[in-house]
């Protein structure tokens, strides 16, 4: 079966979507971005388990991409967020990110937005009782391994979600969605304190960009690497196990993300010249949650998600969606490239 195995290996090498793979304009990938195949027992060699590492020496937590094979359980991640009618961010981006990571996605919708690549024209928060009902339905039946939280909108919804998650043994990625790419505010000012007090202490990973970190702390956005780390550590003191300070809003030719927790890791990437970055924060956080649902350690989940997102941004212009800030290409590693 040489042809099938060759195809599987090619898909695996490509599945991370890291810059450096032929077809993605040839930026050099880290040589430790390795993927190897381990034959899965009981499959006759036709199916293999996928193990990925994304360049963090000393971190050996294997990542198994887990379709239903030979009795293996499918990894499940849940997104709790708002709906984006344009499909680039929110629930829609999260579910695409889960699928790109080979994780089954469930969803709890907190709000409905009317938006496209240019603007958010209307927002309607769902009643807390409906959000609560969705949460109960999902947790009553599905073995959720990780949760990604996005847009919550108001203090009542923050309280509803926090109450449903408290005491549950699962990984929680909190993406403090506050302002859309178009500049429209998605989190009421009075909800910031509720988010800080009720959800941050429950978070496995908090993933703010620089303006969101500043908003949570009541400070000006960090303008230096030192300030980025100081604000990250101030957020860490509020209760999350890890804080990922995303540096995409900073000036300069290099984007620098800083992961702070029991260890500190820096992830850098060349700034890519594209306007099509709608949904980057949602997608990044969802990809991290997917890794945690699959059993990855936090640094490894972040490393893989960072690597994949760079490929998604790099391939975004190929989609040609809308006339404003288009979405990233979630399936850049799976769809044929012209």
Give the closest residue to 24 by CA, choosing from 324, 318, 325: 318
Instruction: Give the active site residue among 88, 145, 153, 279.
Output: 279
Residue 37: how many other CB atoms lie within 10 Å: 14
264 annotated active-site: no
Phi and psi (nearest 5°) for 120?
Answer: -100, 120
246 annotated active-site: yes
117 annotated active-site: no
Instruction: Give the active site residue among 148, 246, 311, 326.
Output: 246
Instruction: Give the active site residue among 280, 291, 311, 326.
Output: 280
18 annotated active-site: no
Give the closest residue to 213 by CA, choosing from 226, 228, 194: 228
Instruction: Give the active site residue among 55, 248, 277, 326.
Output: 277
Token pair 């999902």: residue: 138
160 annotated active-site: no
268 annotated active-site: no
Q: Which long-range contacts (CB under 8 A, 24 or more apart) does 196-199 make?
A: 196/238, 198/158, 198/159, 198/162, 199/149, 199/158, 199/161, 199/162, 199/165, 199/174
Instruction: Give the active site residue among 18, 54, 255, 282.
Output: 282
Q: Which long-range contacts (CB under 8 A, 24 or more apart) does 265-268 make?
A: 265/56, 265/299, 265/302, 265/303, 267/302, 267/303, 267/306
Instruction: Give the active site residue among 90, 281, 291, 326.
Output: 281
Residues that are catalytic: 246, 277, 279-282
């Amino acid at each position: 079966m040489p042809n099938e195995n060759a195809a599987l290996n090619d898909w695996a090498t490509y599945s991370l979507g890291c810059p450096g793979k032929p077809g993605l304009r040839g930026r050099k990938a880290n040589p430790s971005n390795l993927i190897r195949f381990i034959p899965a027992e009981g499959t006759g060699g036709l199916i293999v388990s996928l193990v990925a590492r994304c360049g963090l020496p000393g971190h050996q937590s294997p990542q198994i991409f887990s379709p239903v094979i030979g009795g293996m359980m499918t990894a499940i991640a849940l997104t709790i967020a708002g709906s984006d009618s344009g499909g680039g961010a929110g629930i829609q981006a999260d579910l695409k990110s889960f699928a790109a990571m080979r994780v089954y996605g469930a969803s709890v919708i907190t709000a409905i937005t009317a938006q496209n690549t240019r603007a958010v024209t209307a927002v309607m928060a769902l009643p807390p009782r409906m959000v609560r009902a969705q949460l109960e339905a999902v947790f009553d039946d599905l073995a959720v391994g990780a949760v990604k939280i996005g847009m919550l909108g108001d203090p009542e919804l923050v309280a509803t979600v926090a109450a449903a998650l408290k005491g549950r043994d699962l990984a929680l990625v909190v993406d403090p969605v506050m302002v859309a790419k178009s500049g429209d505010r998605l989190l009421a000012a009075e909800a910031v304190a509720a988010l800080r007090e009720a959800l941050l202490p429950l978070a496995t990973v908090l993933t703010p960009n620089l303006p969101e970190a500043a908003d949570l702390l009541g400070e000006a956005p960090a303008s230096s690497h030192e300030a980025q780390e100081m604000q990250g550590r101030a957020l860490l003191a509020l209760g999350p196990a890890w804080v990922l300070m995303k540096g995409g809003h900073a000036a300069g030719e290099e984007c620098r993300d800083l992961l702070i927790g029991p260890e500190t890791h820096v992830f850098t990437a060349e700034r890519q010249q594209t306007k099509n970055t709608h949904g980057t924060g949602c997608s990044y956080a969802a990809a991290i949650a997917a890794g945690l649902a699959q059993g990855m350690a936090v640094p490894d989940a972040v490393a893989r998600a960072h690597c994949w997102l760079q490929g998604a941004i790099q391939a975004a212009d190929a989609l040609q969606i809308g006339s404003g800030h288009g979405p990233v290409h979630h399936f850049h590693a799976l769809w044929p490239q012209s």
